[in-house]
Amino acid sequence: MSIQQENRFQAIISHAKEYGFVFPSSEIYDGLSAVYDYGPYGSELKKNIRDYWWKSMTQMHENIVGIDAAIFMHPTTWKASGHVDNFSDPMIDNKDSKKRYRVDHLLEAHAEKLREIGEEKEADELLQIMDALLAKEDYAGLKKLIDDNKIACGISGTANWTDIRQFNLMFKTEFGAVASDNPDDNIVYLRPETAQGIFVNFLNVQKTARLKIPFGIAQVGKAFRNEIVARQFIFRMREFEQMEMQFFIRPGTQKEWYEYWKEERLKWHLSLGIPREKYQFHNHSKLAHYADAALDIEYQFPIGFKEVEGIHSRTDFDLGNHQKYSGKKLTYFDNEINQHYVPYVIETSIGLDRMFLLILSHSYDEETILKEDGSKDSRVVLRIPEKIAPIKLAVLPLVKKDGLPEIARSIVSDCRPYFKCFYEEKDAIGRRYRRQDAIGTPFCVTVDHQTKEDGTVTLRYRDTMQQERIHQDEIKNKLQHLLLF
Ligand code: ATP
């Protein structure tokens, strides 16, 4: 990461805290690593992203329904899903600093350094070799790659590494208060993905919502992973939220549906007004234990192109295994072809917190403004897509007297049922505009003395700072139109 990008990333983190978007968890106790809380504007923004996704899935597609499954699941779920045996990352420890690294992260960071000194070809080669070794799970080969490249620990500066080992990422806890001779009897896991709640409910949902294949089940909820390398703010957290959709299809049609969802999900991102060149697809060479094809939708964060969403062709792996472990039939009768089968699944899985970081990264702008008298001014503005901005409209009486607050309050009452409004009368109008810019409010309405004469107000646009006069009765309709899904 260049110094400029590093600074931008740090500026976003500070801004998020200063303006009530994201706080470190339990900060008065110095925080808890890789756990964060969302503040007043953050929780609004997060909810708006969640709602935008939910609506696009369950309202805009007639064959997708939602569920809300519990975080705790029967422990056998995670045996069947493969997470008990396979949900682990290869790790390596530096013997001097005792710091543990994910092997792929260590090598990727080295490739990044090579790029910074112009050695693009070497960096590409290194990553290609790494991908091939990861795909073969050749840990001795990966260790040799780290040794051959003389990769050193960022803290101790030495290349004194342990062997590579697997580390399971699931959190365990105890369930109930019943003592048992076998401690394993009481173990439950905090779910590391929301998908399994969908799989185990597959038939309940299909039957009660009377769905025919192809159909989807969507869910938003918390997931937990004991990430080893937990840094980079809300990019990688130990407690986070996923928005997942499992699309159940006829076996043999997975390629076309995989392509469909790849394009459909990219369209969703672009519908927020984020430029196409900020995205790239990354096809997986090492497939997860459940997949026959997988790709990441990557976004150009200030920390580089990184995954924000995964599209996975999960075959019949999950339903097949749940059928095996539970002894319950999980087949579907397809009356068009007169056959019973275990459906195949295409999954779209996006991290809500990562999408939040994407929106902040896209929106954060330090702008220099050239004023009419030739002097310069600056502002920090969050260009959050209007539809998901925490506050849509700020209503500001120019002064705190002469009946202007009353008019402003009546505008708020009129608009409040339709979109989130904010009323403020303190400080000079310029300062109030800047505060709204900093939290990403797309529209401000100012009530002044002319309003009393002809009922018009000033509507100010966040991005261009342009202003126009409109009648106060037009505000609600105009904004509703601009904010339309
Ligand atoms: P990574 O390679 O970054 O660890 P992953 O491939 O394990 O991610 P998936 O299992 O495909 O991730 O999860 C789907 C989505 O959930 C990811 O695209 C990401 O947006 C989000 N996600 C996964 N792990 C985390 C985490 N620790 N913190 C925040 N979001 C996460």
Name the nearest CA neighbour of 47 among 471, 321, 391, 382: 391
Termini Cα distance of the chain: 35
d(C-alpha 402, C-alpha 400), whole Å: 7
- In this structure, which amino acid lies at residue 113? K
With 80 as the cut, is the pLDDT of residue 182 above it? Answer: no
Q: What is the pLDDT of residue 363?
A: 98
User: Which atom, in ligand 1's list, is nearest to the CA of 294?
Assistant: 11
Name the nearest CA neighbour of 167 among 234, 232, 240, 227: 227
Please work out whether the CB of residue 96 comes within 6 Å of at least one atom of ligand 1: no
Total number of residues shown for the chain: 485
Centre of ligand 1 to C-alpha 351, Å, is 6
Please work out whether the CB of residue 87 comes within 6 Å of at least one atom of ligand 1: no
- The β-bridge relationship of strands 88-93 and 165-168 is antiparallel
Name the nearest CA neighbour of 377 among 430, 427, 435: 430
Centre of ligand 1 to C-alpha 21, Å, is 21
Centre of ligand 1 to C-alpha 455, Å, is 51
Centre of ligand 1 to C-alpha 412, Å, is 40
pLDDT band at 203 (very low <50, low <70, confident <90, very high): very high
Please check whether residue 157 is in contact with residue 148, taking contact to mean a CB–CB distance below 8 angstroms.
no
Q: What is the pLDDT of residues 232-291, one digit of tens each?
A: 899 999 999 999 999 999 999 999 999 999 999 999 999 999 999 999 999 987 777 778
Q: Taking CA 191 as the corner, what is the angle to CA 187 and CA 197, rounded to the nearest 5 degrees?
A: 110
Residue given tokens 């984020």 in the structure block: 274
Please work out whether the CB of residue 348 comes within 6 Å of at least one atom of ligand 1: no
E strands, 63-116, where? Answer: 64-66, 88-93, 100-102
Most ligand 1 atoms within 8 A of CB, residue of 36, 233, 236 to mutate: 236
Please work out whether the CB of residue 89 comes within 6 Å of at least one atom of ligand 1: no
Please work out whether the CB of residue 225 comes within 6 Å of at least one atom of ligand 1: yes
Minimum CA distance residue for ligand 1 atom 25: 236
pLDDT band at 205 (very low <50, low <70, confident <90, very high): very high
Name the nearest CA neighbour of 354 among 301, 402, 412, 291: 301
Please work out whether the CB of residue 93 comes within 6 Å of at least one atom of ligand 1: no
Please work out whether the CB of residue 192 comes within 6 Å of at least one atom of ligand 1: no
Minimum CA distance residue for ligand 1 atom 1: 307
Q: What is the pTM of this model?
A: 0.88
Q: In the structure encoding, which two tokens stand for residue 345, read together?
A: 């699944």
Report the pLDDT averaged over residues 139-167: 93
Please work out whether the CB of residue 94 comes within 6 Å of at least one atom of ligand 1: no
Please work out whether the CB of residue 350 comes within 6 Å of at least one atom of ligand 1: yes
Residue given tokens 């939910």 in the structure block: 54
**pLDDT higher at 481 or 422:** 422
pLDDT band at 42 (very low <50, low <70, confident <90, very high): very high
pLDDT band at 367 (very low <50, low <70, confident <90, very high): very high
d(C-alpha 472, C-alpha 476), whole Å: 8
Minimum CA distance residue for ligand 1 atom 18: 309
Q: What is the pLDDT of residue 288?
A: 75
Report the pLDDT averaged over residues 171-175: 91
Local structure of 166: helix, strand or coil: strand
Q: What is the pLDDT of residue 86?
A: 81
Least confident span in 40-44, 105-109, 472-476 = 105-109
Please work out whether the CB of residue 351 comes within 6 Å of at least one atom of ligand 1: yes
Q: What is the pLDDT of residues 370-391, one digit of tens each?
A: 888 888 989 999 999 999 999 9
Most ligand 1 atoms within 8 A of CB, residue of 25, 171, 231, 242 to mutate: 242
